[in-house]
Amino acid sequence: MASRTSERRRGPPDASPTVAVVGLGYIGLPTALLLAREQSVVGVDIDEEKVADIRAGRLPFEEPGLDRLFADVRDRFRVQTTVPDAVDTYLIAVPTPLDKLTDVANLSYVRAATETVADALDPGDLVVLESTVPPGTSEQLVQPILDARGPSGEIRYAYCPERASPGDTLHEMVHNDRVVGCADEATQSRIDGLYEFVEGENFLTGPTEAEFVKLMENTYRDVNIALANEFALLAEDYGIDVQETTELANEHPRVNVHYAGPGVGGHCLPIDPQFLTQSSTASQLVSTARDINNSMPVHALHLVRSLLSETNVFEQDSLPQVTLLGVAYKGDVDDTRRTPALKLHRLAKNEGYDVRANDPHVEDFEIPLESMTDAADGSDCLVVVTDHDHYTELDPDEIGSAMRHRNVVDTRGLLDADRWRDAGFTVRRLGDGRR
């Protein structure tokens, strides 16, 4: 929707909430706080510890501008563990993980949230689902629950997926266009009123179409990353540098090749293609792209193994020690969901390596994290996994003085390779077949 002057006035601190946001994760919490700029909002999450932290002013994750926004709207935002029944709009933004055993969407959180919301509805209320779901979820799961458990009377429903990326969430939530999946223009009008903070445009379609669009967008990116990764593997075979060739290819006005990396992480890109294809057999390209991206941590370890062999590290008596630089799935965020660093860590441990890890943005992770100094102490090889700006500022001489062997594998093309070579490092970059 185009930017416009809001007719709603900010409610006083004691105003009754008009919107309940169910699920206070990476999407639900920023959405709730943006809504609270103009109205009173209640945030709901079943995680009692998370609710207690938010009440105490401790936000559960790092996101630029989120602390400031929270401080600005705190008098219009409260949190609790139960769904209220005194609001007229319910926005559901709960997790939709991929089941590890079946590779099928786990919709238990969506089902539970929908059932709880349905019990609190009054005729005329609006229910909006933002969680990423397989096509058909609205029509086959959510709406039947609302019809069966909700009140007899008209309930407005819409599927309205977010388009936001960690590290730029607030800006993208405000400025990006949205796809609204609903049955009629009357419901879209309610959506326009709800998302008054959005300066982009709303595009109206059906719920299943909107679910499909959301999955198409992230599948497109996953396939393009897979193509970039395959280009990197080919470049190594041909003895050329894929970064250089990618830059030249992208000079073509209709070409935009992505850059290669050690794998794909985050909640969306590794999962959405599987949500899209789980009920279809027509998925050869999408499935192949997933296989390529899932294989990249294996290739990263191959580069490490090859470099350690070339520099005679395996001839020493002690176990090779490697240091992972970054465990977040992307640069300058603290989000570690489905990070390729975890697979790389486990593969290296399985081969007998002593593996250390550092990340300037992440506090809690499945493996111990150390300071840069401790993680590099006695290391035989640094492995750049995450493209944090912090790592571009490292002093190779200082880091190298603490290491046993000066080796570095750069899976992101992040470092100034000449600078590190001048400091005595043997450098290998993903996609660079030159020696």
Bridge partners of 426, per DSSP, are 407
Single residue among 184, 204, 224 that ends a domain in this structure: 204
pLDDT score of 150: 85
Pick from 183, 164, 46: nearest CA to 126:
183
Are residues 114 and 23 part of one domain? yes
pLDDT digits (tens, 9 = 90+) for 159-174: 999 989 889 999 999 9
Q: Considering the chain, what is the average pLDDT of its residues?
A: 93
Has residue 422 got a pLDDT over 70? yes
Query: What is the rounded average pLDDT of the residues 1-18?
Result: 49
Residue 14 within any structural domain of the chain: no
What's the pLDDT band for 86 if we cut at 50, 70, 90? confident
Query: What is the rounded average pLDDT of the residues 45-54?
Result: 97
Single residue among 183, 204, 225 that ends a domain in this structure: 204
Has residue 10 got a pLDDT over 60? no
pLDDT score of 4: 32
Rounded to an integer, what distance in angstroms lies between the CA atom of residue 308 and that of residue 289?
Answer: 29
Single residue among 204, 229, 251 that ends a domain in this structure: 204
What's the pLDDT band for 2 if we cut at 50, 70, 90? very low
Residue 289 within any structural domain of the chain: no
- Residue with the larger pLDDT of the pair 56 and 283: 56
pLDDT score of 103: 86
Has residue 8 got a pLDDT over 50? no
Residue 4 within any structural domain of the chain: no
Are residues 383 and 303 part of one domain? yes
Are residues 279 and 425 part of one domain? no
The answer to whether 413 and 427 are in contact (CB under 8 A) is no
Three-state secondary-structure class, residue 182: strand
Report the CATH number at residue 388: 3.40.50.720
Has residue 12 got a pLDDT over 60? no
Strands 381-384 and 354-358: unpaired
Query: What is the rounded average pLDDT of the residues 107-111?
Result: 97
Are residues 174 and 54 part of one domain? yes
Residue 13 within any structural domain of the chain: no
Are residues 27 and 173 part of one domain? yes
- Phi and psi at 378, nearest 5°, equal 80, 10
> What contacts 110, CB < 8 A, 6 or more positions away?
92, 94, 96, 129, 131, 133, 137, 141, 142
pLDDT score of 151: 85
Question: Which tokens go with 265?
Answer: 């992480």
Reply yes or no on whether 268 is catalytic. yes
pLDDT score of 5: 32
Rounded to an integer, what distance in angstroms lies between the CA atom of residue 384 and that of residue 262?
Answer: 9
Rounded to an integer, what distance in angstroms lies between the CA atom of residue 330 and that of residue 340?
Answer: 10
Has residue 252 got a pLDDT over 90? yes
Has residue 313 got a pLDDT over 70? yes
Tally of structural domains, the chain: 3
Q: Which domain holds residue 268?
A: 215-284
- Residue with the larger pLDDT of the pair 47 and 11: 47
Least-confidence region, from 60-69, 82-91, 179-188, 351-360: 179-188
Residue 54 has, within 13 A of its CA and on its CB side, a CA count of 30
Radius of gyration over alpha carbons of the chain, in Å?
A: 24
What's the pLDDT band for 424 if we cut at 50, 70, 90? very high
Are residues 382 and 233 part of one domain? no
Has residue 213 got a pLDDT over 50? yes
Question: Which tokens go with 215?
Answer: 């999955």
Are residues 51 and 31 part of one domain? yes
Residue 193 within any structural domain of the chain: yes
Q: Considering the candidates 50, 160, 182, 268, report the single residue annotated as catalytic.
A: 268
Residue 290 within any structural domain of the chain: no
H/E element, 351 = none
Reply yes or no on whether 330 is catalytic. no
H/E element, 127 = strand 126-129
What's the pLDDT band for 283 if we cut at 50, 70, 90? confident
Are residues 184 and 41 part of one domain? yes
Are residues 308 and 277 part of one domain? no
Query: What is the rounded average pLDDT of the residues 41-49?
Result: 97
Has residue 326 got a pLDDT over 50? yes
How much of the chain exceeds pLDDT 70, in percent? 96
pLDDT score of 177: 95
Residue 335 within any structural domain of the chain: yes
pLDDT digits (tens, 9 = 90+) for 120-159: 999 999 999 999 999 999 999 999 999 998 887 789 999 9
pLDDT score of 435: 74
Are residues 274 and 358 part of one domain? no
pLDDT digits (tens, 9 = 90+) for 347-374: 999 999 999 999 999 999 999 999 999 9
Query: What is the rounded average pLDDT of the residues 328-335?
Result: 95
What's the pLDDT band for 13 if we cut at 50, 70, 90? low
Residue 113 within any structural domain of the chain: yes
pTM value is 0.88
The answer to whether 286 and 277 are in contact (CB under 8 A) is yes
Q: What is the DSSP string of 63-120?
A: -TTHHHHHHHHGGGEEEESS--SS-SEEEE----PBPTTT-SB--HHHHHHHHHHHHH
* CA-angle at 167, arms to 163 and 173, nearest 5°: 30
pLDDT score of 236: 97
Least-confidence region, from 76-85, 183-192, 238-247: 183-192
How much of the chain exceeds pLDDT 90, in percent? 86
Are residues 72 and 34 part of one domain? yes
Rounded to an integer, what distance in angstroms lies between the CA atom of residue 353 and that of residue 356?
Answer: 9
Are residues 55 and 185 part of one domain? yes
Q: Which sign does the torsion angle of CA 63, 68, 72, 76 carry?
A: positive
Residue type, 17: P
pLDDT score of 48: 97
